[in-house]
Amino acid sequence: MLTLVNDTSDQQFLSPPKRRSDSQPRRSDYNRRRFLAWLRDEITILRALGMDHRRIAAQLDIEEHDVRVFSPKPKEKILCRNLPRRAIDALLHGRHASLGGRTVAKRSRHLVKIASAYTWEELMAEPGVGTVTASEIRLWLEERGAALRPSPDGAANWYRSTPTPDIS
């Protein structure tokens, strides 16, 4: 004799899929625009540190052509470099600030004189100055026909062995 048996499929035991709220964006999504902005920033920093296209391409594992495309153009900020605020503060209040005068206004007019009184080691010892800021100060001085004072011990600085950035 046949008896009626209820069909118990697997769908009864599974809960319905939860909908993700639209207010919470997915953090793992690939964002091409954000990645390209990051790549442009990295290349700009490495160029400011004096690296050439080939070395940057090797370090970032990209094509040399891509480095050229994302490098700052001569019409951009690289030729008319302004010092960032942290570099200006370090120079205006650092150990050689008194060479520019007693007031901040006088010191700001003599920033080249103040900055060229530093050695690389002294500049790196200033609070708030790291490798990138020190390199920006060095490049800023070179654009104005000045340079950092050589070290008294005659040791070759690491930046002297790296070529000056080619703007072409």
pTM of structure = 0.46
What was the pLDDT predicted at 84?
85
Domain 85-161 annotated CATH 1.10.150: yes
Spatial distance between the Cα atoms of 24 and 9, rounded to a whole number of angstroms: 34
- Tokens at residue 22, please? 């639209």
What was the pLDDT predicted at 19?
62
Least confident of 26-30, 40-44, 63-67: 26-30
Q: Tokens 């490098």: give the residue.
A: 71
pLDDT tens, position by position, 93-104: 999 988 888 888
For the chain, the structural domain boundaries read 33-70, 85-161
Q: Tokens 């470099």: give the residue.
A: 81
Q: Could you tell me if 49 and 103 are in contact, meaning their C-beta atoms sit under 8 angstroms apart?
A: no
Residue 7 pLDDT level (bands cut at 50, 70, 90): low
Tell me the average pLDDT across 107-120: 89
What was the pLDDT predicted at 113?
92
DSSP string covering 47-106:
HHTT--HHHHHHHHTS-HHHHHHHSPPTTTTTTT----HHHHHHHHHSTTGGGG-SSHHH
Q: Evaluate the CA torsion angle 152, 154, 156, 160 in order and state its sign.
A: positive
Number of helices and strands in the chain (H, E): 9, 0
Q: Tokens 């090797």: give the residue.
A: 58
